[in-house]
């Protein structure tokens, strides 16, 4: 960035650091000696990565921060030096030091431990937030699609923008939601991930900044990292209150990212829901900053409780699609086994996305597109969503009860929709719980997968994918994993048992 655009005072930073001490102690963590400067550097890094201290914010001078924290100036100087070495701080003589984020480096893809024979077949997999198909609607949709197939079987089957009937059906759906839309504004993709990949190729080249919620959807963050983007985290508001608009305005104004990626409805992983006014405000801030705002509506149909007020879609405040690019998907609302997603944007953006598709996946399968067309054209989509909501609600309630029973010190807010519970793991390392869980028959993704470069070590994500006795067993195994981590049993990786959160 080359310069700071806002300032964090010494007292303010000391307060933010102090409020996060938790089990963090200078001198020792997880049974190992940790120098004070290292603890301080880690704490500052996490404040940046979780979006609590914005990127390009000038930090206090070493002497001031040392006084505010009652530590030696040497400790602060060494912490700043460590942060500079890791790309989280930039300095220039006379201008001071300001926060930064390094270019994304992909997470190492670690092979999962092979299961011991006694666990094989009994692993409860909470790794994937997707549910079984809402039958009988899957079979019905495919049977109807087969009836529609013959005329398409006479073509080469290659529709890079999607079948015209499906583009029309999706456009009609936006129009019915109050956002007039033409088929030329729609492209069918291979799931929401195919949509994000295509949008990143178009808007966010290597080294380009993308603002993302902290936390956000793990696979999208990794895709962006692999594309070489610089991820600029923006903290979510507390609890389930949706976006922190002042934080977003600051990041959009100061970091001027090329693109921003946000989930308005039942955010993954936190389950947060934007309030009625937020979409308009975020769109206005993005427009003012010249930032393309990519809004992922994958979870929008998954309202689980009565009386929930859904926010208006962000594209309602940018119907022409010059600022807002909307992503939808059948993977969560209907079934992941379809691999069906779509993009709504301005016609020229859609044309560019379609042109680039010849060099990616070429197109989406015809029969799946006919199945989704049939679902959208009749009662199928709504009826399937009812089945899906019933499954998810019952699983959520079972999971919440089971976690409260077996892990009473884990903290979370129960979301009113979506498919995920974001649980604070009582001061233990989420990565080590995930690792111990793998050995004890429960697979769960740890918090850092949902954060930028190591944030959210104190969390795991639990999906609403199992219910009843299985949810109870899963929570019991997680509790056993937590005990294992707490007791200091040796782990396969060198992660401290406790952490700053």
Residues within the interface to a second copy (CB under 8 A): 109, 111, 128, 130-133, 135, 138-139, 142-143, 146, 149-150, 152-158, 190-191, 193-194, 197, 201, 206, 219, 222-223, 226, 335-339, 351-352, 355-356, 358-368, 465
Nearer to a second copy among residue 118 and residue 359 (C-beta): 359
Closest approach of a second copy to the CB of residue 139, in Å:
6
Q: Are 1 and 209 in contact (CB under 8 A)?
A: no
Six-digit token pair at 394?
């019952």
Phi, psi of 157 (to 5 degrees): 80, 10
Nearest to 380 by CA among 137, 177, 135: 137
Q: Are 343 and 186 in contact (CB under 8 A)?
A: yes
Task: Give the rounded distance of the alpha carbon of 450 from its chain centre.
Answer: 6
- Kindly state the tokens that stand for 55: 């990127």
- Residue 277 vs 337, nearer CB to a second copy: 337
Choose between 339 and 432: whose C-beta lies nearer to a second copy: 339
Measured distance CA(244)–CA(241) in Å, rounded: 8
Nearest distance from residue 110's CB to a second copy, in Å? 9
Say how far apart CA 176 and CA 52 lie, in whole Å.
38
Which residues, 6 or more positions from 167, have their beta carbon under 8 angstroms from its beta carbon? Answer: 161, 183, 184, 186, 187, 188
Of 4, 2, 97, 83, nearest to 38 (Cα)?
83
Q: Which is nearer to a second copy, 53 or 372 (CB)?
A: 372
Q: How far is CA 221 from CA 51, 225, 226, in A?
A: 15, 6, 9
CB 480 within 8 Å of CB 439 = no
**Total residues belonging to the chain:** 501
- What is the three-state SS of 141-176? HHHHHHHHHHHHHCCCCCCCCCCHHHHHHHHHHHHH
Q: How far is the CB of 419 from a second copy (least distance, A)?
A: 10
Q: What is the DSSP pairing of strand 324-329 with strand 292-296?
A: parallel
At closest approach, how far in Å is the CB of 65 from a second copy?
38
Nearer to a second copy, 62 or 453 (CB): 453
Our CB check for a second copy shows the closer of 1 and 360 to be: 360
The distance of closest approach from Cβ of residue 329 to a second copy in the complex, given in angstroms and rounded to an integer, is 10
Nearest approach, Cβ of residue 106 and a second copy (Å): 8
- Residue 98 or 159: the one with the smaller Cβ distance to a second copy is 159
CB of 365 to a second copy, least distance (A): 5
Which are the contacts of 454, defined by CB distance < 8 A and separation ≥ 6? 45, 46, 49, 448
Give the pair of three-digit tokens for residue 435: 């690792």
- Choose between 56 and 141: whose C-beta lies nearer to a second copy: 141
Which C-beta is closer to a second copy: that of 51 or that of 341? 341
State which residue, 242 or 445, has the beta carbon closest to a second copy.
Answer: 445
Q: How far apart are the first and last CA of the chain?
A: 28
Estimate the share of the chain in helix, then strand, then coil, as percent rounded to the nearest 5.
45, 15, 40
CB of 248 to a second copy, least distance (A): 25
Residue 218 Cβ vs a second copy, minimum distance, rounded to whole Å: 8
- Provide the minimum distance between the beta carbon of 359 and a second copy in the complex, in angstroms, as a whole number: 4
413, 240 Cβ separation under 8 angstroms:
yes
């Amino acid at each position: 960035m080359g310069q700071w655009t806002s300032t964090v005072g010494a007292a303010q930073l000391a307060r933010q650091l102090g409020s996060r001490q938790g089990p963090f102690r200078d001198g020792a963590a997880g049974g190992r000696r940790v120098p004070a400067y290292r603890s301080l550097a880690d704490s500052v890094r996490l404040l940046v990565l979780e979006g609590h201290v914005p990127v390009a914010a000038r930090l206090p001078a070493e002497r001031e921060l040392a006084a505010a924290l009652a530590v030696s100036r040497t400790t602060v100087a060494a912490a700043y030096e460590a942060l500079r070495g890791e790309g989280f701080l930039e300095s220039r003589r006379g201008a001071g030091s300001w926060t930064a984020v390094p270019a994304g480096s992909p997470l190492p893809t670690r092979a999962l431990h092979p299961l011991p024979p006694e666990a094989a077949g009994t692993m409860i997999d909470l790794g994937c937030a997707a549910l079984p198909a809402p039958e009988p609607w899957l079979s019905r949709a495919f049977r109807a699609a087969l009836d529609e197939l013959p005329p398409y079987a006479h073509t080469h089957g290659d529709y890079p923008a999607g079948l015209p009937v499906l583009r029309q059906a999706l456009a009609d759906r936006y129009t019915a939601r109050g956002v007039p839309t033409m088929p030329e504004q729609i492209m069918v993709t291979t799931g929401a991930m195919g949509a994000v990949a295509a949008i990143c190729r178009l808007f966010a080249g290597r080294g380009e900044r993308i603002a993302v919620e902290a936390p956000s959807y793990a696979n999208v963050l990794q895709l962006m990292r692999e594309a070489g983007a610089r991820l600029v985290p923006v903290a979510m508001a507390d609890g389930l209150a949706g976006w922190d608009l002042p934080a977003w305005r600051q990041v959009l104004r100061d970091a001027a990212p090329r693109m921003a990626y946000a989930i308005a409805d039942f955010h993954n992983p936190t389950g947060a829901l934007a309030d009625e006014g937020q979409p308009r405000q975020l769109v206005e801030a993005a427009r003012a900053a010249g930032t393309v705002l990519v809004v992922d509506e994958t979870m929008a149909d998954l309202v689980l409780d009565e009386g929930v007020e859904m926010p208006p879609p962000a594209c309602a405040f940018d119907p022409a699609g010059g600022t807002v690019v909307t992503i939808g998907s059948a993977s969560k609302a209907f079934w992941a086994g379809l691999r069906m997603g779509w993009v709504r944007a301005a016609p020229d953006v859609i044309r560019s996305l379609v042109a680039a598709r010849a060099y990616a996946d070429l197109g989406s399968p015809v029969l799946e597109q006919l199945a989704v067309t049939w679902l959208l054209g009749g009662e199928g989509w709504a009826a399937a969503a009812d089945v899906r909501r019933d499954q998810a609600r019952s699983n959520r309630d079972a999971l919440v009860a089971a976690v409260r029973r077996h892990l009473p010190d884990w903290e979370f807010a129960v979301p009113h929709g979506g498919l995920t519970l974001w649980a604070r793991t009582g001061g233990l390392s989420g990565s080590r719980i995930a690792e111990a869980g793998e050995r004890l028959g429960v697979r769960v993704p740890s918090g850092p997968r949902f954060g930028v470069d190591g944030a959210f070590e104190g969390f795991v994500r639990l999906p609403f994918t199992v219910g009843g006795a299985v949810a109870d067993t899963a929570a019991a195994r997680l509790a056993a994993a937590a005990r294992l981590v707490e007791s200091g049993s040796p782990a396969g990786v060198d992660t401290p048992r406790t952490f700053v959160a």
